[in-house]
Amino acid sequence: NAGVTQTPKFRILKIGQSMTLQCAQDMNHNYMYWYRQDPGMGLKLIYYSVGAGITDKGEVPNGYNVSRSTTEDFPLRLELAAPSQTSVYFCASSSRLPNTGELFFGEGSRLTVL
Amino acid sequence: QKEVEQNSGPLSVPEGAIASLNCTYSDRGSQSFFWYRQYSGKSPELIMFIYSNGDKEDGRFTAQLNKASQYVSLLIRDSQPSDSATYLCAVNQAGTALIFGKGTTLSVSS
């Protein structure tokens, strides 16, 4: 059972480049999330989705875009990468509202912008 | 800005002792509270959740909630070196997403 799969696991970008972090889950979860975690810090919510076709901003959405065309996939797009976007990105999913259900996390994607 | 505050630590306890981790939150409307454990270089994993005022026990772990004081804590009894990790407090926001604190790093020495 794969759970939540993130790709790539590591990536180095140059300033101004763009890329997409992929996230896929095979648990038929409606709720999906993108968090970033800076060194020594907690998780900051970037975007979330409560179902296909529905997305909403979290705490730190600037510089990112998302889409949710299917239940399984929730890609995160970085446009014009900046050094401030150097971080570890975690995708997560939940079968129910997070106040009643557990979040399942992917293994993370470590991004460095130079 | 709704916030979740934790002492970043590190909190150091000897093996077999009780570790006490604390968390405060700003949104009085929050209704559910979670503790996640994160080992270095790994993704977070759920330890416990609590919805009602009072204590909730699960093995060596006890979560305590006081909504009037906007305070939630995690007690780890008989701490083991394998408990050494960062503990993240999380609070639901508007029922659709979790907001996390910065985490408290726990070190258990043998």
Compute the average pLDDT of residues B77-82: 97
pLDDT per residue over A38-55, tens digit each?
988 889 999 999 999 999
Does A1 score more than 90 pLDDT? no
pLDDT band at B1 (very low <50, low <70, confident <90, very high): low
Q: What is the DSSP string of A6-38?
A: EE-SEEEE-TT--EEEEEEESS--SEEEEEEE-
User: Residue B102, by phi and psi: left (phi above 0), alpha (psi -120 to 50) or beta?
Assistant: alpha
Compute the average pLDDT of residues A86-95: 95
Which residue in the block uniquely carries the two structure tokens 């810090």?
A: A41
CA distance A108 to chain B (A): 7
What is the torsion angle, in degrees rounded to the nearest 10, for the CA atoms of residue B53, residue B49, residue A53 and residue A64?
Answer: 100
Residue to substitute from B42, B92, B96, interface A, most A β-carbons within 10 A: B96
**What per-residue confidence (pLDDT) applies to B29?**
85
Contact B96 A56 (CB under 8 A): yes
User: Residue A59, by phi and psi: left (phi above 0), alpha (psi -120 to 50) or beta?
Assistant: alpha
**What per-residue confidence (pLDDT) applies to B97?**
81
Residue A41: closest C-alpha in chain B? B102
pLDDT per residue over A25-41, tens digit each?
999 999 999 999 998 88
**What per-residue confidence (pLDDT) applies to B94?**
65
